[in-house]
Amino acid sequence: MSKAIITDVKNTFINTFKTEPLLIFSPGRINIIGEHTDYNDGFVFPAAVDKGIAAAIQKSDSKKSTAVALDLDSTIEFELDKLKPSKEGSWENYVFGVVAEIQNRNKVIGNFNIVFKGNIPGGAGMSSSAALENSVVFGLNELFNLGLTKHEMILISQKAEHNYVGVKCGIMDQYASMFGVKNNALLLDCRTIESKPYEINFKEHQLMLINTNVKHSLSDSAYNDRRSACERVSELLGVKALRDATEADLKRIIDKVIPANYQKALYVIQENERTLKAVKAIEDGNLETLGALIYQSHEGLTTKYKVSCNELDFLVNQAKENKSVLGARMMGGGFGGCTINLVTKDKANRFAEEASKAYKKEFNKECSVYFIKLSKGTHLIR
Ligand code: GLA
């Protein structure tokens, strides 16, 4: 995390509230493979990164609490016993939601002040929202000795997103942000919420993100629609979640499912298998196979799950045309945000330049390139 951001958050806090705050870093995440599998009780393979949210937080003697979003130059005061969701799309819902969900668990907190700032652009598909939620719950747990475990904290963050933000997200983002391990990706079983870390060293290859810098609207409702479509198909299959179904099971109910939902369920079942195959490929040191699986993941997200967009498809096609890229796909919820690319190290800059130029020509818009480090999860900065 950039020192400048931490200093900024800390100094703003001290100047505004005249006390020393606790400082927290809460990372965003990448996801190597396993997209839209988390809310199907499936497998995902994310990692926390060195970009995220820095927060300064401390108790307050006043009758109100204050939250300051430095990036947005926006401040909000609120009363803990009068919380309700703010209008859709507003940043304070991440804060209010976490506070409300803590209270729902009969944990008592007092007034507090928080100042935060991040270096992940919203809409990048890198979970700036989970990073923020986790920083709030982690900070409040420290300040008020709530005795919450990290598992409880991520469930609180997730519920905040469900009930205050209105996105019925899975657990991947909050988990990766909270439990990240330096230099590792986590194979997370979203049913048991347990993970196994894998040290990621791709030798002459590396991961690189390209942000389309677009976020098409309707993505939240499209997300919730897909989640309920998956749930309807599992009901028809008589299983708890699509994680429990095979392609053969799905074929048996083909007449009962509308074609669009059949394709979506098929995607999920295949992506779940791909995720396990990808981890095996990493164990075997077979990056060509990993790359091919990553391309297949994108193909499924575009043609079956239908959560991609022209900008993402364009960047993935740029990758396909470039021999130095082994695999590329859209990352996160979709409809914009980043592609993740597995690229030869010494050709990465060249590819980034070529893809950026082509993107500009096609869309008359800049994309952004991020080189990331896999990092530790949410923690106090001492
Ligand atoms: C968003 C959600 C996650 C996950 C991904 C898609 O990031 O928050 O829970 O479903 O989309 O894999």
* Confidence band for 208, pLDDT divided at 50, 70 and 90: very high
Compute the average pLDDT of residues 116-138.
94
Are residues 237 and 263 part of one domain? yes
Residue 121 confidence (pLDDT):
83
Residue 306 confidence (pLDDT):
97
Domain of residue 97, CATH code = 3.30.230.10
Residue 209, CB-side half-sphere exposure with 13 Å CA sphere? 27
Are residues 246 and 192 part of one domain? no
Residue 88 confidence (pLDDT):
86
Residue 220 confidence (pLDDT):
81
Are residues 311 and 241 part of one domain? yes
Are residues 158 and 306 part of one domain? no
**Residue 159 reports pLDDT greater than 90:** yes
Site to probe by mutation for ligand 1, drawn from 31, 32, 33, 36 as the one with most ligand atoms within 8 Å of Cβ, is: 36
CA of 227 to the centre of ligand 1 (A): 10
Residues 6+ apart with CB under 8 A from 279: 45, 187, 198
Compute the average pLDDT of residues 246-260.
97
Q: Where are the beta strands (DSSP E) in 205-272?
A: 205-215
Q: Which residues pair with 29 in a beta bridge?
A: 48
> Which among 43, 17, 14 is positioned nearest to 31, based on CA atoms?
43
Task: Please identify which residue in the block is written with the tokens 């959560």.
Answer: 307
Residue 2 confidence (pLDDT):
82
**Residue 1 reports pLDDT greater than 80:** no
Query: Is 173 annotated in the active site?
Result: yes
CA of 216 to the centre of ligand 1 (A): 16
pLDDT digits (tens, 9 = 90+) for 52-69: 999 999 999 999 999 999
Question: What is the domain extent for residue 170?
Answer: 3-199+376-380
**Residue 13 reports pLDDT greater than 70:** yes
Report the percentage of the chain scoring pLDDT > 70.
99
Distance CA 45, CA 55 (A): 26
Residue 15 confidence (pLDDT):
98
**Residue 123 reports pLDDT greater than 90:** no
DSSP 124: S
**Residue 260 reports pLDDT greater than 90:** yes
- CA–chain centroid gap for 262, Å, is 26
* Confidence band for 229, pLDDT divided at 50, 70 and 90: very high
Residue 89 confidence (pLDDT):
84
Total number of residues shown for the chain = 382
Compute the average pLDDT of residues 116-145.
95
Distance CA 347, CA 326 (A): 12
CA of 373 to the centre of ligand 1 (A): 20
**Residue 266 reports pLDDT greater than 90:** yes
Are residues 276 and 180 part of one domain? no
CA of 124 to the centre of ligand 1 (A): 12
Are residues 239 and 186 part of one domain? no
Are residues 283 and 249 part of one domain? yes
Residues 6+ apart with CB under 8 A from 76: 66, 67, 92, 95
Report the percentage of the chain scoring pLDDT > 90.
95
Are residues 364 and 256 part of one domain? yes
Are residues 319 and 180 part of one domain? no
Compute the average pLDDT of residues 87-98.
93
Residue 218 confidence (pLDDT):
66
Compute the average pLDDT of residues 100-118.
97
Catalytic residue among 173, 220, 225, 346: 173
Cβ(39) to ligand 1 under 6 A?
yes
Atom of ligand 1 nearest to the CA of 31: 12
Residue 325 in 3-state DSSP?
A: strand
- Look at ligand 1, atom 8, and give the residue with the nearest C-alpha: 169
Instruction: Count how many domains the chain has.
Output: 2
Are residues 273 and 159 part of one domain? no
**Residue 128 reports pLDDT greater than 70:** yes
Compute the average pLDDT of residues 313-328.
98
Cβ(333) to ligand 1 under 6 A?
yes
Compute the average pLDDT of residues 178-203.
97
pLDDT digits (tens, 9 = 90+) for 167-180: 999 999 999 999 99
Residue 122 confidence (pLDDT):
82
Predicted TM-score (pTM) of this structure:
0.97
Residues 6+ apart with CB under 8 A from 237: 244, 245, 249, 250, 253
Residue 370 confidence (pLDDT):
96
Residue 258 confidence (pLDDT):
96
Domain of residue 232, CATH code = 3.30.70.890
Are residues 328 and 217 part of one domain? yes
Are residues 218 and 153 part of one domain? no
pLDDT digits (tens, 9 = 90+) for 356-379: 999 999 999 999 999 999 999 999
Neighbours of 108 (CB within 10 A): 9
- CA–chain centroid gap for 101, Å, is 20
Residues 6+ apart with CB under 8 A from 80: 65, 99, 103, 109, 110, 111
Cβ(46) to ligand 1 under 6 A?
no
Compute the average pLDDT of residues 341-365.
98
